[in-house]
Each structure stands twice: as C-alpha cells, then as structure tokens.
Amino acid sequence: MTIKRVGVVGSGIMGSGIAEVAAKAGFEVVLRSRQKSSADRMVAGLEKSLAKQVDKGKLDAGERDAALGRVRAVTDLSELAECDLVIESIVEDLATKKHLFNELDRICGDDTILATNTSTLPVVELAMESRPEKVCGVHFFNPAPMMPLVEIVRAITTSDETIDAARGFAEACGKNPVLVQDQAGFIVNALLFPYLNNAVKLFDAGVATRDDIDAAMKGGCNFPMGPLELLDLVGLDTSLAILEALYAEFKDPNYAPAPLLRRMVSAERLGRKTSEGFYDYHR
C-alpha cells in the first residue's frame, strides 16, 4: 500500500518529533492532541526546531516552509479518518492505549495501518483491540529527528503487507529500520535497561559516585552519555515502567527495578522533565 497521509496521536516530545520527521520526508501529517493549547504548543515547537535547522544550515527556508505546510494540528480524533498510517505516541499505559486503538479502529478506514510507538508494551494486545493484521510497532527513538533507528515490531497477527508498508515508511523518513518480533523491550531496551538498572544499583551501593560512574562508561566504552545521565533524559518514571514490563515478562533478576529508582520516582525526581533526577537541572 502507498502511505501519503500520516496521523500522529500524542502531544509529547516523541509525538512532535515523529511529526517533524514525517513532514520533512514529504508526508502530509495530521497531529492530534486532546487540547488546542497543547496542539498549538506542538506546532510552535516544530517551528522552533525547524528554524534552528535553518540557522545551522541543515535546512533551507523553503524546505522549512514546505514541511510546516504539510502539518495540521487537530483536537478531534475523527480528523484521522483519512490517514493511511496512524502512529500513537501517548502515555505508556496499556489500558489507555487499548482504548485509543479501539477508537481508531472505529474511526479509520479499513486499509489504515495502526502503529504504536511503545518501547516495551505488547503490540498484540493493541492488535486484538482493532484490526489484528494491520497493527504493528513503529518505535522511534528520542529525539526522533536525530536518532537513525526505528524498530518495526511484528505482532503474531501482523501481515507481511503491513510490515512492508511500515518499513517503507521508515526508510522514506531516512531512518534505518530493524525488524523485531513482539516481546517486551524489543531489541534496544531489552539490552539497554539491565545496564541502566545495574548502574543505579552500583550508585546506591556506594561503589562509585554518580559522576565517576558516568565518566567511566563514557571514557571506557566510548558511550556519548553515562547511564545516570541517560536515565534522566529518558525519564525515571518511564524507565521504571520499562523495567517493570521486562521483569513481568521474563522474571530475570536483571530486570527487577533497583529500589533507589522506585524511591526517586515516588519522590517525583524524574530527571530532566522535572528538573531533578540523578542530576539537578534547575540551573
């Protein structure tokens, strides 16, 4: 199938980032948020992001204007009815996502592919709420405009046609898609989060300071960020949810969330999003 119009549901960083990627690639984008104020903020954020790229010489003004002209922000879910592909990027809560997929199945045309940007939750659970053969995972990484990888997740119900279309969309966006079966964590998070979790345990045990743990992994493994810095960027609440989902599926002790991580989430020290996590971002 040919994808021309893409719907994006979600007003967070990932939703606006996916919308930017798709618009720059030439797709018409319908960006849906529940409230007009948040929809307007997303468009303003998109304008700011594209303006920075023009200032840095990565984009010319004509390309910026063309990309912005392809984006339409809406609040009514029914505005997604004519989309060829809809990608949800809402809160990582299975019940909330299932309700959305049920609504999208009712609203969208029979040929519309429904995709989830979930990083961990079971895609098949969403597929069974709607059109099983036309649901897949299209997992972008943060920040979506910069990160080259997209995980294309095949649920047990997903058709080859759906996977081919999703992969083609990712490639058209200039991304490098990898195909993965539907299991918790997919590829990246299944490998990444035991490492992040163990870094929290080392820090909590007093094996090394926060700064030395991060410096060791940057200097010893050539990673661009240390594990505690990365947890702050991802969000400690999101990280805890991912670890809980991984542990629920595999019961591997490496996935059991570090107690300190739970305590920090309880204290609402969630990282950059609250300006305080392992690091202080108030300054």
Q: Which of 139, 197, 239, 276 is catalytic?
A: 139
The tokens describing 102, both together, are 């049920």
Backbone torsions φ then ψ of 222, nearest 5 degrees: 65, 30
119 as an active site residue: the answer is yes
Q: Is 6 exposed, middle or buried (0-12, 13-18, 19+ CB in 10 A)?
A: buried
130 as an active site residue: the answer is no
189 as an active site residue: the answer is yes
Q: Which of 11, 16, 189, 197 is catalytic?
A: 189
Q: What is the DSSP string of 218-269?
A: HHHH--SS-HHHHHHHH-HHHHHHHHHHHHHHH--GGGSPPHHHHHHHHTT-
CB-based contact 120:189 (threshold 8 Å): yes
Amino acid at 100: L
DSSP strand pairing (71-74 vs 28-32):
parallel
Q: Which of 20, 92, 151, 229 is catalytic?
A: 151
Q: Which of 33, 117, 119, 239 is catalytic?
A: 119
Give 128's contacts (C-beta < 8 A, 6+ positions apart): 157
Residue 73 pairs in a beta bridge with 31
Rounded to the nearest 10°, the torsion over CA 166, 178, 272, 279 is: 180
Amino acid at 59: L
Give catalytic residue positions: 119, 139, 151, 189
